[in-house]
């Protein structure tokens, strides 16, 4: 699985800690981590939590990544931004049980974490335990076991609803503020990572046209 990490400006100083915690847990599981920044509080390339959502949608819908880990001060803003787009099911995850149940019950493809609220002693341990529970097993298997069938049925219903409640992503991107959009894809590693992993030719070509 390809996993993207995206940090917005208010919590960019924690990127190194978050990236290290994520990599430590998921790489031994056979997953790859792609750190899309921001990389530090002084990073010249700035992302808002709204741009986190734009970037997450581009990466997931293009197949450049399979999963997105993002967040903001409370985690709520980045979650709302991600869920504004088709092809993204993002949950707010605060502790390891949230991570496990979101994976098994909701079978999403993105999480948003609070990187300021409650982020004190043991924060890196909490991150590691969340990532363990989130990625330790195949998602969508249900919890508790007597709820597997209705939970999997509800996930299919949600997927069907999302399929008709959004326009296609390229149409959405064309109608966005173009400075906002271009800012979301202007990170120093974006072109390298995206070009190597994009699986959607139409979306990939459109993104390339924005960078020309």
Q: How many domains does the chain contain in total?
A: 1
Q: Give the whole-angstrom CA distance, residue 39 versus residue 151.
A: 37
Contact 108, 159 (CB under 8 A): no
Q: What's the pLDDT tens digit per position in 134-179?
A: 999 999 999 999 999 999 999 999 999 999 999 999 999 999 999 9
Helix H segments across 92-200? Answer: 96-101, 123-135, 148-165, 169-175, 178-184, 190-197
Instruction: Give the pLDDT of residue 8.
Output: 97
Name the phi and psi angles at 87, rounded to 5. 75, 10
Q: What's the pLDDT tens digit per position in 73-101?
A: 999 999 999 999 999 999 999 999 999 99
pTM: 0.96
Residue ranges making up the domain that contains 182: 2-211
Q: Per-residue pLDDT for 35 more than 90? A: yes
CA 69 to chain centre: 4
Q: Give the whole-angstrom CA distance, residue 114 versus residue 49.
A: 12
- Burial of 196 per CB tally in 10 Å (0-12, 13-18, 19+): exposed
Q: What is the CATH number of the domain that holds 88?
A: 3.40.1400.10
Confidence bin at 212 (pLDDT 50/70/90): confident
Check residue 107 and give left, alpha or beta (phi > 0: left; psi -120 to 50: alpha): left
Instruction: Give the pLDDT of residue 26.
Output: 98
Contact 163, 178 (CB under 8 A): no
Q: Give the whole-angstrom CA distance, residue 182 versus residue 210.
A: 7
Contact 109, 56 (CB under 8 A): no
Name the phi and psi angles at 183, rounded to 5. -65, -35
Task: Using alpha carbons, select from 57, 93, 86 the residue that is nearest to residue 72.
Answer: 93
Task: Using alpha carbons, select from 1, 204, 206, 15 the residue that is nearest to residue 103.
Answer: 1
């Amino acid at each position: 699985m390809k996993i993207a990490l995206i940090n917005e400006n208010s919590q960019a100083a924690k990127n190194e800690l978050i990236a290290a915690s994520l990599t430590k847990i998921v790489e031994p599981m056979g997953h790859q981590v792609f750190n899309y920044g921001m990389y530090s509080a002084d990073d010249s390339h700035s992302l808002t939590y709204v741009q986190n959502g734009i970037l997450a949608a581009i990466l997931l819908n293009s197949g450049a990544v399979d999963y997105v880990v993002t967040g903001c001060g409370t985690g709520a803003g980045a979650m709302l931004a991600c869920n504004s787009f088709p092809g993204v099911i993002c949950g707010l995850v605060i502790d390891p049980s949230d991570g496990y149940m979101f994976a098994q019950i909701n079978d999403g493809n993105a999480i948003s974490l609070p990187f300021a609220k409650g982020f004190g002693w043991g924060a890196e341990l909490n991150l590691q335990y969340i990532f363990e529970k989130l990625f330790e097993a195949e998602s969508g298997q249900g919890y508790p076991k007597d709820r597997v069938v209705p939970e999997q049925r509800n996930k299919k219903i949600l997927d069907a609803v999302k399929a008709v409640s959004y326009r296609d992503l390229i149409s959405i991107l064309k109608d966005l503020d173009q400075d906002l959009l271009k800012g979301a894809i202007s990170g120093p590693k974006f072109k390298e990572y995206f070009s190597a992993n994009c699986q959607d030719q139409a979306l990939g070509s459109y993104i390339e046209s924005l960078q020309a």
